[in-house]
């Protein structure tokens, strides 16, 4: 059994902005099922505190350089048996708005300081210096917000960080092994030198071999340079980030660390996302009761102000409205797409320009396009259940969870062949249809024309109900549950431990 500290900046159902929240909310529970002693650590955002249920104060940390103590609340991740620690420093985390940005959508100006504090608290726990009488042998970090954790843990015992941050004594235990998971390389946590200077970190970290990146301080590099093992969330994205096209300037470093980098597909949490028992949809259904899916379509049409018509194919989309997700490709494909009899329903929020363009398209095609701008967890389930097809034109997609949900709901994904989309969807080519393998529709070039062509193939198959139902049933039978992925993480923890032992020997 491993002792794992799982550090993340969001976790469903405490706080969620995207797929990272889904993963941090379900992978720890899957590891728990595999009998691991896994504990989750998160910042005590106001919303997370409100959603966490019963909490007790487990420790009060005095961190050098901070004028107030950091409180560590202990509870359980709701709906699981996973112990939860919330790092409470009200100046940084007790605010309205999202975890990374304020109600106006702009990043909190003190994000570097906020996640530096979170990292220091996590390191204190990791080194068993928080008074919890528990030391993990693995610290599993996720995305840039946790990048400083491997960096701080890797500092030599005698360095100022070791003494000032978590006061390692001569008899201090060895550091735990670290694993850093890249959920999205495009978000790097970059801050100017002036901010770096205010963080009180060892100056050695400002180096191109450490966390300096083209004149900025890069939180993600802390993970990429210092973690014993690196993973990302699909095998294809693990290859893609080693190329200039999707490496975001870090492909050189990732190639250098290729031997420690692997791709492990995310799982879907079928406790939450399964039309057989989903409480947020109008009517539950399974492969034998597909007729009930139509009741969800009717409800979806009602919620999106679309005429209720079961014959018309309905294309759905849910997502963050940002460049990555290729919503502009869908918008640009509309003049051609709308020549076919179909409806579109989009739920999303993000960049103003995309929100506005979507709302305008709704005016241009009244009664044919329904748009809801906002973040609504429950409505996302209804889109998955009620749509016939789910459009994911992402320019890149490290894994993507919505296509996994779509498969389970018998809602054929139409997606760009990239990252996790390429790894989880089998394109409905004539050969794949014949071999009873196809589960969705993939297109190769991230262009409106290619998206339109794939949609056309989907519409054609949709017009042949017996064939369409076969595709739906096959999609619904796919198994992307966490079990398999959690086992792969376990194997990797084992290797990370071996690596950490070797590196500590060689440093000693």
Residue 280, burial from CB neighbour count under 10 angstroms (0-12, 13-18, 19+)? middle
Distance CA 418, CA 398 (A): 8
Distance CA 419, CA 507 (A): 37
Query: Which of ligand ADP, ligand GLC, none is residue 233 near (CB under 5 to 8 Å by kind)?
Result: ligand GLC
Distance in Å, CB of 254 to ligand GLC, minimum: 16
Distance in Å, CB of 184 to ligand GLC, minimum: 4
- Tell me the helices (H) and strands (E) count for the chain, helix number first: 20, 18
Q: Pick from 313, 318, 289, 288: which is nearest to 301 by CA?
A: 313
Q: Which of 376, 395, 457, 473 binds ligand ADP (CB under 6 A)?
A: 376
Distance in Å, CB of 183 to ligand GLC, minimum: 3
Interaction of residue 320 with ligand ADP, rule CB under 6 A: yes
Instruction: Give yes or no for a cis peptide into 169 (omega within 30° of 0).
Output: no
Q: Which stretch binds ligand GLC (CB under 6 A): 125-133, 165-173, 327-335, 391-399?
A: 391-399
| For ligand ADP, the closer CB: 324 or 503 | 324
Interaction of residue 30 with ligand GLC, rule CB under 6 A: no
Interaction of residue 280 with ligand ADP, rule CB under 6 A: no
What is each CA distance from 307 to 252, 312, 314, 357, 368, in whole angstroms?
A: 52, 10, 11, 22, 8
Strand order in the sheet with 216-218: 190-192, 216-218, 212-213
Binding mask 2-41 for ligand ADP (x = CB under 6 A): ----------------xxx-x-------------------
Query: Which of ligand ADP, ligand GLC, none is residue 450 near (CB under 5 to 8 Å by kind)?
Result: none
What is each CA distance from 405 to 335, 373, 432, 477, 481, in whole angstroms?
A: 28, 21, 21, 12, 11
Interaction of residue 337 with ligand GLC, rule CB under 6 A: no
Interaction of residue 398 with ligand GLC, rule CB under 6 A: yes
Distance in Å, CB of 291 to ligand GLC, minimum: 31
Distance in Å, CB of 75 to ligand ADP, minimum: 23
Distance in Å, CB of 349 to ligand GLC, minimum: 15
Give the residue carrying structure tokens 């202990």.
74
Q: Are strands 441-443 and 412-416 parallel, antiparallel or unpaired?
A: parallel
The answer to whether 123 and 135 are in contact (CB under 8 A) is no
Interaction of residue 401 with ligand GLC, rule CB under 6 A: yes
Q: Which of 83, 348, 393, 419 binds ligand ADP (CB under 6 A)?
A: 348
What is each CA distance from 188 to 80, 144, 236, in whole angstroms?
A: 30, 6, 20
Q: Which stretch binds ligand ADP (CB under 6 A): 36-44, 282-290, 299-307, 373-381?
A: 373-381
Total chain residues near ligand ADP (CB under 6 A) = 18
Interaction of residue 183 with ligand GLC, rule CB under 6 A: yes
Interaction of residue 269 with ligand GLC, rule CB under 6 A: no
Query: Which of ligand GLC, ligand ADP, none is residue 33 near (CB under 5 to 8 Å by kind)?
Result: none
Q: Which stretch binds ligand ADP (CB under 6 A): 118-126, 157-165, 315-323, 455-463?
A: 315-323
Interaction of residue 269 with ligand ADP, rule CB under 6 A: no
Distance CA 41, CA 176 (A): 15
Dihedral Cα 242, 491, 78, 378, nearest 10 deg: 40
390 — alpha (psi -120 to 50), left (phi > 0) or beta? Answer: beta
Q: Which of 122, 401, 459, 461 binds ligand ADP (CB under 6 A)?
A: 401
Distance in Å, CB of 422 to ligand ADP, minimum: 14
Distance CA 210, CA 57 (A): 35
Q: Pick from 268, 289, 307: which is nearest to 403 by CA?
A: 268
Q: Which stretch binds ligand ADP (CB under 6 A): 59-67, 237-245, 312-320, 492-500?
A: 312-320
Q: Return residues touching ligand ADP (CB under 6 A).
A: 18-20, 22, 318-320, 347-349, 375-377, 380, 399-402
């Amino acid at each position: 059994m491993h002792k794992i500290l799982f550090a993340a900046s969001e976790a469903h159902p405490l706080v969620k902005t995207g797929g990272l929240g889904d993963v941090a909310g379900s992978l720890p529970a899957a590891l728990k099922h595999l009998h691991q002693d896994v504990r989750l650590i998160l910042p005590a955002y106001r919303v997370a505190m409100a959603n966490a249920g019963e909490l007790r104060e487990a420790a009060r940390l005095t961190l050098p350089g901070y004028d107030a103590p950091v409180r560590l609340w202990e509870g359980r991740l709701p709906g699981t048996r996973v112990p939860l620690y919330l790092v409470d420093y009200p100046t940084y985390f007790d605010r309205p708005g999202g975890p990374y940005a304020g109600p106006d959508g702009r990043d909190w100006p003190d994000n570097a300081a906020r996640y530096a504090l979170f990292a220091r608290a996590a390191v204190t726990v990791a080194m068993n210096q928080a008074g919890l009488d528990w030391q993990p042998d693995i610290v599993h970090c996720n995305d840039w917000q946790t990048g400083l954790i491997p960096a701080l843990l890797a500092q030599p015992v005698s360095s100022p960080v070791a003494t000032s941050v978590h006061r390692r004594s001569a008899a201090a235990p060895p550091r735990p092994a670290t694993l850093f998971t890249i959920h999205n390389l495009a978000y790097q946590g970059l801050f100017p030198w002036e901010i770096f200077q205010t963080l009180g970190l060892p100056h050695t970290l400002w180096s191109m071999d450490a966390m300096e990146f083209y004149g900025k301080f890069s939180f993600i590099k802390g993970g990429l340079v210092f973690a014993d093992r690196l993973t990302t969330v699909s095998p294809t994205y693990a290859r893609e980030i080693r190329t200039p096209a999707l490496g975001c300037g870090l492909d050189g470093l990732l190639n250098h660390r290729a031997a420690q980098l692997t791709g492990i597909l995310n799982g879907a949490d079928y406790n939450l996302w399964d039309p057989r028992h989903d409480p947020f949809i109008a009517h539950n259904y399974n492969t034998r009761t597909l007729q009930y899916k139509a009741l969800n379509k009717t409800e979806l049409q009602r919620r999106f102000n679309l005429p209720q018509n079961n014959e018309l194919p309905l294309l759905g989309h849910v997502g963050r409205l940002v460049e990555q997700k290729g919503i502009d490709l869908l918008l640009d494909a509309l003049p051609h797409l709308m020549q076919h009899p179909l409806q579109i329903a989009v739920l999303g929020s993000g960049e103003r320009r995309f929100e506005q363009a979507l709302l305008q398209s709704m005016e241009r095609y009244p009664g044919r396009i329904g748009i809801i701008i906002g973040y609504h967890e429950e409505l996302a389930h209804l889109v998955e259940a009620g749509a016939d097809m789910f459009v994911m034109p992402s320019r890149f997609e490290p894994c993507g969870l919505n296509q996994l949900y779509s498969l389970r709901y018998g809602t054929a994904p139409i997606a760009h062949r990239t990252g996790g989309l390429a790894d989880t969807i089998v394109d409905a080519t004539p050969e794949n249809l014949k071999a009873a393998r196809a589960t969705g529709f993939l297109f190769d070039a991230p262009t409106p024309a290619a998206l339109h062509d794939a949609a056309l193939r989907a519409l054609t198959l949709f017009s042949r109900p017996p064939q369409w139902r076969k595709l739906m049933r096959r999609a619904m039978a796919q198994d992307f549950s966490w079990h398999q992925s959690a086992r792969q993480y376990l194997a990797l923890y084992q290797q990370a431990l071996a690596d950490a032992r070797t590196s500590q020997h060689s440093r000693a």
